Amino acid sequence: VAELDRPWTDTPFMFQGFQVTAEDIETLRSHCRFVYVDLGLSEPGAGRSARQAVNAGVDASSDEARSRIAPGPAYEAPFQHRREPDEGHFRELVAAAEAGRCQARNEVDRVMHDIRLGRSLDTERARESVEELVHQVSADSSAALWLTNLKNRDEYTSIHCVNVCVFALTFGLHMGLERDELTRLGIGALLHDVGKTKTPPEILNKQGALTDEEFEIVKRHAEDGYQLMYEAGGVPEQALEVIRCHHERVNGKGYPLGLRGEDIPLRVRISGLADTYDAMTSDRTYQNAMSADDALHKLYRNGAHFFGEGLVQEFIRCVGIFPVGSVVELDNTAVGVVVATRADARLQPTLLLVRTPDGAPYDKRVLLNLAAQARRGEHSRPRRIVRPHRGRLMPQ
């Protein structure tokens, strides 16, 4: 199915364009009067049976079908409560988010440094930096999410901790957590890997697969982090739980306790998902980063065993059909990097344009807000996510 008769956001389908299974047919029927099937991508004979099954009496070649599929009035957001990310405003948001990230990162570095030196730990400033991130993400998460794309293989741990915190807060907010709950979740997410200060660096930085013994040593970081932060004092119990249990998985195969299903609290599963997503989209000594949308597809296929199907689907809804940092080609063939998305207009992200329709690079920054453009009656629509060559098209 290549196209629906309504915005994808009005349906439970996670991705634009998918292969129909028998279960999908009923869901399609309940949400759509007709859909478009790309026969070129279908198995032989699939087109006719899919059309018979799905098309509830509407001829897909009819004017009605065509007019509903054609780029008509853009999807109107049901409410508008935030300022549009024009370039000046977005720069202000990015500057504030950079400062917030820097503070949080310094706190992680300081806590880990003090652990290594055997000093007593002060977690109060970590809490303050998380409160600032909660404030930023609650107001507008776009800049904080955008900056999660700036990764550095050599300073992986502290950047990863801040990224996991930002993803966990954004997702926690999406799941309806209250401000205090978000702060406790954020403290746990920011400090989730501090136990790795006890892991020998030659194991942490090993290229290639770990032996069983080495993996057993790595696994200790969850319990070690919990003990360290428990003894430090001042860390809320729910945050301690995140530090101890962020590798627990709903199939019972996680560690250190082997918890199952609902025995793993929601905030812990949120942190585990945020941790996994950031690790998948980061360069490591033993793997290259996946693109954001490859990571989401992989989570969609396999994530239910680890985090529960419902939560994975909510994460994909939260992060977006065009995740921040993904590279999108428009229907006029211009190319841009997604710098912001809004929950109420997920098909119309804001792009930093990097290539003109003629294929030439832009010589200055051009920010294109597709939702605002649609309201003005102009229609550039994302056609597909493209895979940039590694190291190119990345944000500066």
Residue placing its CB nearer to Fe ion in the complex, 35 or 169:
169
Residue placing its CB nearer to Fe ion in the complex, 140 or 193:
193
Counting residues that bind Fe ion (by CB under 5 A) gives 1
Residue placing its CB nearer to Fe ion in the complex, 157 or 356:
157
Q: Does 224 bind Fe ion (CB under 5 A)?
A: no
Token readout for 384 is 């597909």
Rounded to the nearest angstrom, the gap between the alpha carbon of residue 86 and the centroid of all alpha carbons in its chain is 22
* Full DSSP string of 163-193: HHHHHHHHHHHHTT--HHHHHHHHHHHHTTT
Q: Which of 33, 5, 87, 24 is CA-nearest to residue 340?
A: 87
Residue placing its CB nearer to Fe ion in the complex, 90 or 156:
156
Q: CB of 106 within 8 A of CB of 98?
A: no
Q: Does 293 bind Fe ion (CB under 5 A)?
A: no
* Region near Fe ion per CB under 5 A, out of 173-181, 192-200, 205-213, 329-337: 192-200
- Amino acid (one-letter) located at 368: L
* Phi and psi torsions of 327, nearest 5°: -105, 125
Residue placing its CB nearer to Fe ion in the complex, 256 or 388:
256
Secondary structure (3-state) at 268: helix
* Region near Fe ion per CB under 5 A, out of 31-39, 187-195, 367-375, 388-396: 187-195
Q: Which residue lies nearest Fe ion, judged by its C-beta?
A: 193
Percentage helix, strand, coil, to 5, in the chain? 55, 10, 40
Please state the closest distance from residue 114 (CB atom) to Fe ion, in A. Answer: 19
Q: CB of 18 within 8 A of CB of 38?
A: no
Q: Does 193 bind Fe ion (CB under 5 A)?
A: yes
* Region near Fe ion per CB under 5 A, out of 1-9, 32-40, 193-201, 257-265: 193-201
Residue placing its CB nearer to Fe ion in the complex, 7 or 256:
256
Residue placing its CB nearer to Fe ion in the complex, 246 or 346:
246
Site string for Fe ion, 139-178 (x = CB under 5 A): ----------------------------------------
In this structure, the strands spanning 350-355 and 361-369 are antiparallel
* Phi and psi torsions of 368, nearest 5°: -120, 115
* Region near Fe ion per CB under 5 A, out of 50-58, 186-194, 264-272, 290-298: 186-194
Please state the closest distance from residue 225 (CB atom) to Fe ion, in A. Answer: 8
* Region near Fe ion per CB under 5 A, out of 117-125, 132-140, 141-149, 188-196: 188-196
- Amino acid (one-letter) located at 262: E
Residue placing its CB nearer to Fe ion in the complex, 84 or 283:
283
- The residues, ordered by sequence, that sit 6+ positions from 333 with a Cβ below 8 Å of its Cβ are 357, 359, 383
* Full DSSP string of 230-252: HHH----HHHHHHHHHTT--TTT
Please state the closest distance from residue 163 (CB atom) to Fe ion, in A. Answer: 13
Q: Which of 269, 381, 294 is CA-nearest to residue 15?
A: 294
Q: Tell me the C-alpha distance between 350 and 352, whole Å.
A: 7
Please state the closest distance from residue 287 (CB atom) to Fe ion, in A. Answer: 16
Please state the closest distance from residue 388 (CB atom) to Fe ion, in A. Answer: 29
* Interface residue list for Fe ion (CB under 5 A): 193
